[in-house]
Structure 1
Amino acid sequence: MTLVLREAVRGPDDETVWRILKPAVEAGETFCADPAGGKAGGLSYFWPPSARVWIAEAEGAPLGCCYLRPNQTGNGAHVCNAGYCTLPEARGKGIARAMLDHTLAEGRAQGYRAMQYNFVVSTNTRAVATWERAGFRIVGRLPGAFRHPTLGFVDALVMWKDLRDGA
């Protein structure tokens, strides 16, 4: 499978990005987007004006999407933030890792000094392990910060990677 990441265009690609996000947003297990917020809420959460979004495709079929944006404005704008989502049938095939590698390279190319994930749901163990293998460190734990639909209040993690290390 040859995976291609192409930059999404707001408007023409909204439906494709939403089709990828919809199962995860509505499940309410990994994103803070309102599960009942529909397409407008999901896109607003994942694709604010400050973000660049890419769609991961194989043979023209969308499998995932990711974003990269400044984590903060002003004196915090040298740190980027990224997010990833894959279709349920595409999980476990290296799509998220390929999108991670893409956003790390983009972050470095855009001059960011670090990448920070502000709110990784601790029960999303597959993602946590992927990010740790890529050199991210857990630098904070927010006790009970996420209301999981079946597990109740679970911790959220803050994860960090220095982009100046070349890894």
Structure 2
Amino acid sequence: MEIRDATADDWPAIWPFFHQIVAAGETYAYDRDTTSDRGREIWMLDPPGRTVVAVERDATVIGSAKTHPNQGGPGAHVATASFMVDPAHSGQGVGRALGEYVLDLARAKGYRAMQFNAVVEANTRAVALWRSLGFEIVGTVPEAFHHPVKGYVGLHVMYRKL
């Protein structure tokens, strides 16, 4: 697997799993009927943001991440990031590789910390992954996410120094 900067030409390969994940409504607070055009606006960032893809040796895109300043101005020294792995490649280390890559990117860009604003508490695999990469839960907004199966669940704010 290789991780590299995403290009506009990668969007058609990202869209199918982006759409599948968002339409499921279990892990992202995006409208479940998000269109490809709107998804591209959300995911394919202009500087200072950055979007990357994880690709297999045959150039198949199997995951993607985006990172950018969590806030502007005096809060721009803290990064944030979002990650999606093609469900067909779940459990193969793609998310961990993307997480490690983005943490290294943020460090190299001079960010002092990384904060995730809305990790669905019912997404236990993601919570465990981020904890294993040094993130801690610094707060939970109760019932802030309406999960299609589990009902109202909390959103964690997760943080780690870089």
TM-score for both structures, normalised by structure 2: 0.94
Q: Supply the distance in 2 between the matched residues of 1:84 and 1:105 (Cα, whole angstroms).
A: 15
CA contact (8 A) 1:143 1:154 kept: yes
Aligned to 1:5: 3
Once superposed, what is the RMSD of the aligned Cα atoms? 1.2
- CA distance in 2 between counterparts of 1:38 and 1:28 reads 14
- The match for 1:149 is 148
1:33 counterpart letter in structure 2 = Y
CA distance in 2, matches of 1:110, 1:20: 28
Q: 1:6 to 1:48 in 2, by over 3 A?
A: closer
Structure 1 residue 48: Cα displacement? 4.2
2:121 maps to a residue whose letter is: S
TM-score, with structure 1 as normaliser: 0.91
How far does the alpha carbon of each residue in 1:11-65 deviate from its partner, in whole angstroms, 9 at most, with x for none?
A: 3222122123111011011011111122123223333435211110111111100
Structure 1 counterpart of 2:11: 14
1:97 Cα offset (Å) = 0.2
Aligned residue identity for 1:56: A
Alpha-carbon separation, structure 2, partners of 1:61 and 1:137: 33
Partner of residue 56 from structure 1, selected from 48, 54, 57 = 54
Please say if residues 45 and 66 of structure 2, whose CA atoms lie closer than 8 Å, have aligned partners that are also in contact: no
CA distance in 2, matches of 1:91, 1:98: 12
Fraction of identical pairs, as percent: 39
Greater Cα shift, 87-96 or 33-42: 33-42
What's the CA shift for 1:6? Answer: 1.3
Provide the aligned length of Structure 1 versus Structure 2.
160
